[in-house]
């Protein structure tokens, strides 16, 4: 009998551990209940000998991960109970491609949290459903309350993944139609090839980064039209930007500087402009496209400088290199050969946050970091958390090269 058949049979039952619960057993239970809301889940410290149902996160069986020879994915991510169940049931909910993607983006972080204790915000929130230390009422009611919430989270996440798949399928058709329309105009060069006009909102900004499209136009749900600039590929910066003197203006003030009677709002962050008419939305794009794209900015932080190597990087031949000093070294309390900062943690975090904020004002495509590790590591860590590419120098086969440190926390 398959796992799905066991879940869906009459009087189906499952068993998991009692006591304190975690995101792993909570989401595992929610996944099983998705297929059969009438399934009975028992909790306890030992699996009854006569129990013939589904056992997960306990018992050293097929859907447990506490045994020494517990399974590990090909990418090195260890399975927990949720991952083991999802591996077998995922394609009953999502397409094979999306099921694998869901495993990578949603399941694996929870599995990793359960196996290693690595911090995970969602796992932390689920853990808060556990009774407090002096609550003697037991944990079963709290467990099933958490399972209900986890089930709702799963349903919403799955719908997002299905929507992403529909978007990917439609995106190719939409872009092809745009290119065919531009080609039919028989113009050798036109700004409009960089302007994609949609009849309704379509979440394709990330996909557009790898195309020629620089501006996206679509109807606003408040009336009128929205214009959004498209980011460069693997960057937080835009291919083209609205003129700086438009930013933060609205209505008459914006209409005066743009010359567009229907211009109504331009966000000070430069990521949104609204107009009353489609014609004005397209005109705003054309005006913005008349400006030259800004040269990429690369920051060099620290005493080391690698300007020549930076200019040899693909796409960085004309990069503007801005040199910045490391943050001021905090005062140290020294005892022999050992030292610690005298700054309180909150003070250090505040200084570092202000320093990073100053760096990001330059809108860098990447940040090269040199200098000693004490000063460099906190800066590198914060930039990686913000997914800013961080570069450092290394030696390989006697040649000095730049290496990108992967982004992410």
The number of angstroms, rounded, from the C-alpha of 344 to the middle of its chain's C-alpha atoms is 31
Give the confidence band of 372 by pLDDT, cuts at 50, 70, 90.
confident
Q: What pLDDT is stored for residue 65 in this prediction?
A: 97
The two tokens of residue 364 are 């860098």
Residue 52 three-state SS: coil
**What percentage of the chain carries pLDDT values higher than 90?**
78
Q: What is the pLDDT of residues 123-146, one digit of tens each?
A: 999 999 999 999 988 899 999 999
- Sign, CA dihedral 142-143-144-147, equals positive
> Is residue 356's pLDDT more than 90?
yes
CA-based end-to-end distance of the chain: 42
Write down the pTM of the prediction.
0.79
pLDDT of residue 374: 86
Nearest to 281 by CA among 192, 173, 181: 192
d(CA 200, CA 259): 26
The mean pLDDT value for 379-408 works out to 87
Please state, in angstroms and rounded to a whole number, the distance separating the CA atoms of residues 315 and 235. Answer: 12
Query: Domains (ranges, CATH) in the chain?
Result: 3-162 (no CATH), 188-289 (no CATH), 297-405 (3.40.50)
In sequence order, what are the residues at sequence separation of 6 or more whose Cβ sits closer than 8 angstroms to the Cβ of residue 188? none
Tell me 107's DSSP state.
I
Structural element, H or E, at residue 300: strand 297-301
Residues in the chain: 409
Candidates 260, 254, 374, 269; CA nearest to 326 is 374
Q: Tokens 């039209």 — which residue?
A: 225
Any idea of the CA torsion for 169, 214, 225, 250, to the nearest 10 degrees? 150
Which pLDDT value is given to residue 409? Answer: 46
Q: State which of 42-56, 178-192, 328-342, 383-397 shows the largest mean pLDDT.
A: 42-56
Question: pLDDT at residue 288 above 90?
Answer: yes
- CA–CA distance from 63 to each of 10, 67, 86, 105 (Å)? 21, 11, 10, 20
Spatial distance between the Cα atoms of 198 and 218, rounded to a whole number of angstroms: 5
DSSP for 169-209 reads: HHHHHHHHHHHHHHHHTT-SS-GGGGEEE-SS----HHHHT
Return the biggest CA–CA distance within the chain: 80
Q: ∠74-80-84 over CA atoms, to 5°?
A: 70
Give the 3-state DSSP-derived string for 312-328, with helices as H, strands as E and coil as C: CCCCCCCCEEEEECCCC
| Residue 136: exposure state from Cβ atoms within 10 A (0-12, 13-18, ≥19) | exposed
Q: What is the pLDDT of residues 317-348, one digit of tens each?
A: 999 999 999 988 888 999 999 999 898 889 98
Q: Burial, 128: exposed, middle or buried (Cβ in 10 Å; 0-12, 13-18, 19+)?
A: exposed
């Amino acid at each position: 009998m398959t796992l799905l058949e066991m879940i869906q049979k009459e009087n189906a039952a499952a068993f998991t551990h009692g006591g304190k619960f975690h995101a792993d057993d909570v989401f595992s239970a929610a996944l099983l209940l998705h297929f059969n809301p009438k399934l009975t889940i028992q909790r306890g410290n030992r699996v009854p000998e006569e129990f013939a149902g589904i056992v997960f996160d306990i018992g050293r069986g097929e859907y447990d991960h506490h045994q020494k020879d517990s399974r590990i994915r090909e990418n090195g991510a260890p399975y927990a109970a949720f991952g083991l169940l999802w591996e077998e049931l995922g394609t009953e909910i999502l397409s094979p491609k999306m099921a694998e993607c869901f495993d990578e983006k949603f399941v694996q972080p929870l599995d990793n949290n359960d196996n290693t204790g690595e911090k995970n915000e969602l796992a932390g929130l689920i853990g808060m459903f556990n009774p407090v230390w002096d609550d003697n009422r037991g944990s079963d009611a709290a467990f099933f309350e958490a399972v209900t919430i986890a089930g709702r989270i799963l349903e919403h996440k799955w719908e997002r993944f299905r929507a992403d798949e529909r978007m990917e399928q439609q995106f190719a058709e939409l872009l092809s139609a745009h290119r065919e329309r531009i080609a039919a105009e028989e113009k050798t060069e036109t700004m409009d090839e960089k302007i994609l006009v949609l009849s309704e909102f379509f979440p394709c900004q990330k996909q557009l980064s790898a195309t020629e499209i620089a501006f996206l136009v679509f109807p606003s749900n408040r009336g009128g039209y929205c214009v959004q600039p498209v980011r460069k590929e693997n960057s937080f910066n835009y291919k083209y930007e609205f003129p700086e003197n438009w930013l933060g203006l609205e209505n008459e003030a914006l209409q005066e500087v743009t010359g567009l009677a229907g211009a109504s709002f331009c966000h000070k962050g430069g990521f949104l402009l609204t107009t009353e008419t489609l014609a004005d939305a397209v005109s705003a794009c054309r005006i913005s496209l008349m400006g030259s794209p800004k040269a990429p900015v690369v920051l060099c932080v620290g005493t080391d400088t690698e300007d020549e190597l930076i200019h040899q990087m693909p796409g960085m031949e004309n990069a503007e290199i801005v040199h910045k000093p490391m943050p001021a070294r905090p005062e140290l309390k020294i005892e022999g050969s050992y030292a610690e900062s005298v700054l309180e943690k909150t003070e250090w975090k505040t200084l570092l946050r202000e320093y990073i904020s100053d760096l990001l004002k330059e809108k860098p495509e990447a940040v090269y970091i040199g200098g000693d590790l004490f000063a460099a590591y906190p800066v590198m860590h914060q930039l990686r958390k913000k997914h800013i590419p961080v570069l450092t120098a290394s030696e390989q086969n006697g040649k000095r090269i730049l290496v990108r440190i992967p982004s992410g926390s």
